[in-house]
Amino acid sequence: MKTAKHLGIYMDHSVAHLMELTNDTIMTSTVESQSTLMDEANYLRKDEGLMHNIEHYQRSDYYKRLSSVMKDYDEVILFGPTEAKSELYNLLKNDHHFDKIRIEVKPADKMTENQQQAYVKKYFITRR
pLDDT recorded at residue 1: 44
What is the reported pLDDT for 37? 43
**CATH number of this structure's domain 6-126, picked from the four choices 3.30.420.60, 1.25.40.10, 3.40.640.10, 3.40.50.1360:** 3.30.420.60
The torsion angles phi and psi of 111, rounded to 5 degrees, stand at -135, 150
Task: Sketch the domain layout of the chain as residue ranges.
Answer: 6-126
| Greatest pairwise CA separation for the chain in angstroms | 57
- Residues 9/78, Cβ–Cβ less than 8 Å: yes
Separation CA 23–CA 93 (nearest Å): 28
pLDDT 10s per residue in the chain (128 long)?
456 799 999 999 999 999 999 988 999 999 998 764 454 545 555 566 766 677 777 888 999 999 999 999 999 999 999 999 999 999 999 999 999 999 999 999 999 999 999 999 999 988 76
75-80, strands of its sheet edge to edge:
25-32, 15-22, 6-11, 75-80, 102-107
CA-wise closest residue to 35 among 67, 7, 63: 63
Are the CB atoms for 111 and 10 separated by under 8 Å?
yes
